[in-house]
A = this chain, B = another copy of it.
Amino acid sequence: MTTSDRSRGPRGRGIPDATVARLPVYLRALSTLADDGVTTVSSEELATAAGVNSAKLRKDLSYLGSYGTRGVGYDVDYLVYQISRELGLTQDWPVVIVGLGHLGHALANYGGFASRGFAIRALVDADPDLVGTEIAGTTVSPLADLEEQVRQHAVAIGVIATPAAVAQDIADRLVAAGVSSILNFAPIVLSVPSQVEVRKVDMSIELQILAFHEQRKLAPGGRVASELARDLAEAIGR
């Protein structure tokens, strides 16, 4: 992971990476509750909605401060605000999407971004047929204008939805233009300076992890034939 450590601030405060990764999940569950008119929620209820256990939820929230009331629970709106503030979602983050194939299209049209403080300010693609067209209200710029678009809109977060072959080049250009966070959908390991944060979304990897567990389910005792064979080989001294 390319994430910073937690030794920040006085008294060693700082939020663990595992906690940061769960805050958006809590935020979504809280938003749903708020939409349903719920004003107060217990750690038990919120944990269930978020798919974690309540001890973990309370520990996670304790890193942000003491925002609950003993015997009562948490005020939904107040907690939404505190988590949003901690995640930096009370300000707008200008985003550029590079690559507008089906995936880029899906990202550009995804409503979940705008509602969370992410503003898609620029779309960039290499295909002349796409340049000039409008996607979700934004005109597609040519690849040559990448740096200009980043600077003009003060883009901090770049999304790479290009083929793998050009992803590293795009990353280099994004970083050179001033982008310091990258969300990478291309199936390659990007090389970037250490101060640049990269997160990867890789559907193929997720499927392979599922296949591993799926395979385990097939054999009796959760063990596959190949594994039994290896044990046997070892038992007889290889």
Contact = CB atoms under 8 A, between A and B. Distances in A.
Contacts of A93: 207, 211, 214
Nearest to A82: B226
Given A4-B216, A216-B8, A223-B8, A117 B21 contact: no
Contact of A116 (B204, B226, B231): B204
Interface string A68-98: 0000000000000000011111010101000
Contact of A29 (B91, B112, B189): B189
A44 to B, nearest CB: 15
Interface string A176-206: 0000111100011100000101010111111
Contacts of A101: 106
A207 B110 CA distance: 12
Interface of A: 3-4, 8-10, 15, 20-21, 23-25, 27-29, 49-51, 65, 85-89, 91, 93, 95, 101-103, 105-107, 109-110, 112-113, 116-118, 156-157, 180-183, 187-189, 195, 197, 199, 201-217, 221-224, 226-227, 230-231
Contacts of A21: 205, 209
9 contacts: A9-B231, A89-B211, A91-B215, A93-B214, A102-B109, A103-B106, A157-B210, A201-B201, A201-B206
A211 B195 CA distance: 14
A187 B9 contact: no
Contacts of A202: 24
Given A105-B102, A110-B204, A212 B25 contact: no
A238 to B, nearest CB: 9
A-side interface mostly: helix
A10 B204 CA distance: 31
For A88, A89, A217, the residue with the greatest tally of chain B CB atoms inside 10 Å of its CB is: A88
Contact of A222 (B4, B95, B214): B4
Contact of A211 (B87, B110, B216): B87
Contact of A210 (B112, B181, B211): B181
